[in-house]
Amino acid sequence: MNPVISYLILYDKLNVSKSVTPQSKDYAAWYTDVVTKAGLADYGPVKGTMVIRPYGFALWDNIKKIFDSMIKETGHVNAYFPLLIPKSFLAQEAEHVEGFAKECAVVTHTRLKLDEHNGLIVDPESKLEEEVIIRPTSETVIWSMYKKWIQSYRDLPLLINQWANVVRWEMRTRLFLRTTEFLWQEGHTAHATGKEAEEETLLILELYRQLAEDYLAMPVYTGLKSESEKFAGAEQTYSIEAMMGDKRALQAGTSHNLGQNFARAFDVKFQTQDNKEEMVYATSWGVSTRLVGGVIMTHGDDKGLKLPPKIAPYQVVVVPIFRDENKQSIQDYLTPLLSDLRSAGVRVHEDWRKDSPGFKFNEWEMKGVPLRLEVGPKDVENEKVVLVRRDNSEKQIIQKNKIAGLVPQCLDEIQTALFKSAKAFRSENTHTVTTYDEFKDVIANQGGFIRCGWDGTEKSEIAIREDTKATIRVIPFDENFKGLKCIYSGAPARHEVIFAKAY
């Protein structure tokens, strides 16, 4: 990587020198401290908008690249649909409009002008005949185009994705987790049969699981959403749900089987192989910059971020311990070593600033770089380097000729250890309860997930939500409700579900 790039990331120096609020004291404050002090993001000037800083963007970009290649390997292609949607489109699908009308940014005018006092005002003469909204999601505009593109079964399946920004006017925002504007991918596919659409929905859910578990080291439950929690306009919504460090749930990705709802709304029919006319079946699915929030809260600690090596912008940070008089010899020692590492595909960053080693250690711990490599004059003499893991602070002194072999192995170990540790934490904090009183006690005092029976009624679901603020996060694929009773009503369970308070 170019040395100038690393220079840039150091702008956060002033911030990092201050420590973060401990998790135990105030988890929300800890989160915001880490996001800002690690240089991931900042709030923008318009309420609830986010500036993704270079280090945070590099992290998102790594996640994006991984998922982009996953969907390409499974036959999807990228395209780009407009940001602006006619207001009337939203009304085409009844549930969809209900879900999004209350958080739409509405464009009503197209010009500004100076008034008589030289103040900048909206030019009333530029009022649009029909207002347009900024996409909160793109089903409507995409299906208006699919109507033009799909005529026959030969045009199906249509497997299109876009990487885009969307806007939902949120009241309470938090960086990465819930912002007025966020970045995401949204897939929108069209199929000839309901079966195919369902297969696509589940294929994508499985890709989301792989992305979360195998790359972000974030264990997730996969399964179906309850009726009240599904996407506005979907037949079924599947999701991946993760547990954060404060034991709350994070919905980290959703995949929707839209049935024929949007085809009906936009009148998208196709000619079948036997010359009949049928409505097209649809899916949509998305993951967003929210995943970055998930990574922070799955792995972070009071020292800052802990990044899984597979997505870390820098996998190894080199902190040379040097003075002016021995800088050259340390550089000479390091150059071939680091060149070997880089050839092995490791993302290495060298920190040659004049600040104290202790200061640098803190900074790179805050930024969550998985491995720190220290080299001082003594190490040069002994042909060694010091390797320190961010995840467990383990320190090893190793022979210089072993670095290129050991570092990739060590990064793999860290990746695995982060996942294991997150999974253990989730296990410890997933409870089974036998009475509703116990349920309420656990939610109120311990937190975490509760796995229990549910009678399948909205009534019980709402009652529980109102009592405890816990919601059904997911009906997990591995549910087993035989013999279970609904934790609220005592009636025979229709499902085994996972309840939790959620982000």
The least distance separating a second copy from the CB of residue 85, rounded to whole angstroms, comes to: 7
The least distance separating a second copy from the CB of residue 355, rounded to whole angstroms, comes to: 11
d(CA 260, CA 335): 60
d(CA 307, CA 317): 13
The least distance separating a second copy from the CB of residue 165, rounded to whole angstroms, comes to: 6
Question: Which residues, including other chains, have CB under 8 Å from residue 371's CB and lie 6 or more apart?
Answer: 309, 315, 316, 317, 387, 388, 389, 390, 407, 410, 411, 414
Q: Given the complex with a second copy, which of 59 and 385 has the nearer CB atom?
A: 59
Please report, as a single letter, which amino acid is at residue 478: D
* DSSP run (H or E) holding 458: helix 458-468
Q: Determine how many CB atoms are found less than 10 A away from the CB of residue 122.
A: 14
Q: Given the complex with a second copy, which of 97 and 337 has the nearer CB atom?
A: 97
The least distance separating a second copy from the CB of residue 39, rounded to whole angstroms, comes to: 10
d(CA 213, CA 306): 15
The least distance separating a second copy from the CB of residue 155, rounded to whole angstroms, comes to: 6
The least distance separating a second copy from the CB of residue 95, rounded to whole angstroms, comes to: 13
Q: Given the complex with a second copy, which of 83 and 491 has the nearer CB atom?
A: 83
Please report, as a single letter, which amino acid is at residue 110: T
Q: Given the complex with a second copy, which of 80 and 477 has the nearer CB atom?
A: 80
Q: Given the complex with a second copy, which of 91 and 424 has the nearer CB atom?
A: 91
The least distance separating a second copy from the CB of residue 167, rounded to whole angstroms, comes to: 7
Tokens of 69: 């290649």
Question: Which residues, including other chains, have CB under 8 Å from residue 328's CB and lie 6 or more apart?
Answer: none
Q: Given the complex with a second copy, which of 14 and 483 has the nearer CB atom?
A: 14
Q: Given the complex with a second copy, which of 93 and 374 has the nearer CB atom?
A: 93
| End-to-end C-alpha distance for the chain, whole angstroms | 36
Question: Which residues, including other chains, have CB under 8 Å from residue 312's CB and lie 6 or more apart?
Answer: 59, 62, 347, 368, 369, 370
Q: Which residues pair with 452 in a beta bridge?
A: 497
Q: Given the complex with a second copy, which of 121 and 397 has the nearer CB atom?
A: 121
Burial class from Cβ neighbours inside 10 Å (0-12, 13-18, 19+) for residue 52 reads buried
d(CA 388, CA 394): 6
Burial class from Cβ neighbours inside 10 Å (0-12, 13-18, 19+) for residue 18 reads exposed
The least distance separating a second copy from the CB of residue 5, rounded to whole angstroms, comes to: 5
Q: Given the complex with a second copy, which of 4 and 437 has the nearer CB atom?
A: 4
The least distance separating a second copy from the CB of residue 334, rounded to whole angstroms, comes to: 21
Q: Given the complex with a second copy, which of 84 and 397 has the nearer CB atom?
A: 84
Phi first, then psi: give them for residue 226, nearest 5 degrees.
-70, 165
Question: Which residues, including other chains, have CB under 8 Å from residue 422's CB and lie 6 or more apart?
Answer: 217, 218, 219, 243, 298, 299
In sequence order, which ranges of 344-384 are alpha helices (DSSP H)? 357-366, 377-382
The least distance separating a second copy from the CB of residue 299, rounded to whole angstroms, comes to: 23
Helix (H, G, I), strand (E, B) or coil at 25: coil
